[in-house]
Amino acid sequence: MNDFTLNAQARTDLGKGASRRLRHAKQVPAVVYGGNKDAASITIEAKEMAKLFENEAAFSHVIELNVDGAKQNVIVKAMQRHPAKQFIMHADFIRVIAGQKLTATVPVHFINEEAPVKKGGEISHTTTELEVTCLPKDLPEFIEVDLGALEVGDNIHLSDLKAPKGVEFVALAHGTDLAIANVHAPRIVPTEEGEEGAAE
């Protein structure tokens, strides 16, 4: 049932020099840890990594990681991309254990954005991803935020969202009610000629 899979090989050649050589060979160095096991250094083909992570859902989905024939379920914990070329330079995976809660970052999908705009508002997204905690089976691919009912001047906070079944928002659990989006009046930009309607 799991379409999110990666093939990897264990690696013992560690250090910056080794990582550089791997990248020249179109390999991505990575680490997998957690699950009461020792951390393991692995390497994955760059093109396989790039193909999987073209799908945004892969960042918030349980991935079947096959290391030299041994399969384990993991999620992405961190990923480093090249600042200019955006290819993946390094990845950290954390093992997923059935029945044990995990913490993951999932993207936010905004819907019905045209409604506040038709009312004369401009929308600002203050976050595009949220940290959640849940069992592996309950991990959502994204959190949907409906902006359709917002008026100019309205804000939407984390406490306004309904978490999917079995899912908790980490920030709320820590007492932080994050701002998610707001609708504000368009800013009036003054013109050089001082035309009518320019801001004072």
Ramachandran quadrant class, 99 (left: phi over 0; alpha: psi -120 to 50; beta: rest): left
Number of domains in the chain: 2
Last residue of a domain, one of 97, 127, 157: 97
CATH number at residue 11: 2.40.240.10
Q: What is the pLDDT of residue 98?
A: 85
Asked if residue 113 and residue 78 are part of one domain, the reply reads no
Enumerate residues 6+ apart whose C-beta is below 8 A from 37: 95
Return phi, psi of residue 152, to 5°.
-60, 130
Domain enclosing residue 35, as ranges: 5-97
Q: What is the pLDDT of residue 19?
A: 66
Asked if residue 92 and residue 168 are part of one domain, the reply reads no
Structure tokens at 132: 């959640």
pLDDT tens profile 164-195: 999 999 999 999 999 999 999 887 765 555 55
Q: What is the pLDDT of residue 15?
A: 64
Confidence check: pLDDT of 122 > 80: yes
Return phi, psi of residue 13, to 5°.
-85, 100
Q: Which of 125, 120, 126, 35 shows the shortest CA–CA distance to 77? A: 35
Asked if residue 108 and residue 76 are part of one domain, the reply reads no
Asked if residue 108 and residue 68 are part of one domain, the reply reads no
Q: What is the pLDDT of residue 200?
A: 39
> DSSP assignment of 56-68, as one string?
GGGGGS-EEEEET
Q: Which of 133, 144, 139, 132 shows the shortest CA–CA distance to 181? A: 144
CB 168 within 8 A of CB 132: yes
pLDDT tens profile 40-60: 999 999 899 889 988 888 888
Confidence check: pLDDT of 117 > 60: yes
Asked if residue 171 and residue 116 are part of one domain, the reply reads yes
| Residue 199 located in a structural domain | no
| Residue 190 located in a structural domain | no
| Residue 21 located in a structural domain | yes
How many CA atoms lie less than 13 Å away from 102 in the CB half-sphere?
A: 26
CB 134 within 8 A of CB 101: yes
Last residue of a domain, one of 52, 73, 97: 97
- pTM attached to this predicted model: 0.74
